[in-house]
Amino acid sequence: MIDIKELDKVIDNTLRALEEGKKQLYDIAENTREEYQSACKDLEKSKEEVSRIIKRVEKMEKKEKKARIRLMEVHRDFSRYTEQDVKAAYQEAQNLQLMVYDWRHQETMACFKRDQLARRVKHLKETLQKAENMMSHLGVVFNYLSSDLQLASDKINELQQMQQMGVNIIRAQEEERKRVAREIHDGPAQLLANIVMRAEFCLKLLEVEPRRVKKELQCLQESVRQSLHDVRKIIFDLRPMVLDDLGLIAALKRYLTDYKEQNNVRTEMVCIGPNKRMPVTTEVAVFRIIQECLNNIQKHAKAKHAVIKVEMLEDKLNVTVRDDGQGFELQSVKNNKSSQEGYGLVNMRERAGLLNGKLDIISSPGKGTTVHLSVPVTEWFDSPPKEK
């Protein structure tokens, strides 16, 4: 059997790891975005620098061209210029040529830097887009897993509860069989054995002392009556015929009549609403829950008075069973699963759950116990319903 607590632990660890991964990916995306924005600014500055250098180069090239033209004029008309003028024109042309070369080198380096930055911006943009896509996908996966894993855990838990309910039902059936077997053994079986012995005794007595046979037959008749009464009681406990024939209210009244005779508990029944029939499964389950309440009162509560209120509304049935007994600590009984009282409460809750009903138990030491049952009813019948 799967341990739900361990499964929940695995699910929590998985979701925690996904959440941590999501946070780390978010940090990576934010750092990449900051780096991308910084690189974009550097690229803009680099483009401006390249544009400035190109303009400077163009300006220097124009000056260098004029200097070369001036040098050519000096060489062509050498007689008109002094050596000093020639030397000055040559020096200016050479200096401007060196400056143009230097600025072209700066242009080349600036363009290289600009291209490097452009490639870096493109790479950072692609990385940022991938990180954002991964965050989006991881968010979808996280939401999917957080909902579906929890749903799977709930489903497994529900299946295990249903399995446990089946086990409890089988256990209840076995306990019921043991109880019935014990009652038959201690009651009708013993009486029948006694009847057989008395019948044999009557046969012998008929030959020896016929006058005593009548008295023995009267005793034998009483034993048969008692045996029949015990058998009918066992049959009623197994499945009251009056429940099938006349319904829940009549079965409860019959049961309470016997309950008063057998136990020192004063019981009172209050019925509200029209006495109509419900589906057979509902009537049986409600009867068993009330029967379990009264059994608990007789075994554990030490109560002197109990009230059973049955309220038939348009779409549901409400039942309240209240006693003035010693009460109990509800949580401690729930925790003690091995106790017979706790097992009885579980059995009642499971029966209510099978009817999609709600069972509330209010109790505290010294203040009695109140059990409230509410069961939805979609069909009411005026005559006995057919059992499906």
Q: What are the pLDDT digits (tens) for 350-375?
A: 888 888 899 999 998 888 999 999 99
- First vs last Cα of the chain: how many Å apart? 33
Q: What is the pLDDT of residues 52-85, one digit of tens each?
A: 999 998 988 898 888 888 888 877 776 777 778 7
- pLDDT at residue 351, rounded to an integer: 84
Q: What is the pLDDT of residues 159-209, one digit of tens each?
A: 666 666 666 666 766 776 777 778 777 777 887 888 888 888 888 888 888
Name the DSSP class of 298. Answer: I
Q: Which CATH number among 3.90.25.10, 3.30.565.10, 2.30.42.10, 3.40.50.720 corresponds to the domain 246-376?
A: 3.30.565.10
- pLDDT at residue 339, rounded to an integer: 53
Per the structure block, which two tokens stand in for 307?
């009230």
Based on C-alpha coordinates, what's the Rg of the chain?
50
Is-contact 251 281, C-beta < 8 A?
no
Is-contact 128 36, C-beta < 8 A?
yes
Note the CATH architecture for domain 4-164. Answer: Orthogonal Bundle (1.10)
| Band of pLDDT at residue 153, cut at 50, 70 and 90 | low
pTM over 0.75: no
Q: What's the whole-number average pLDDT of the chain? A: 82
- pLDDT at residue 16, rounded to an integer: 80
For the chain, what are the domain ranges?
4-164, 171-230, 246-376
Proportion of the chain above pLDDT 70, given as a percent: 84
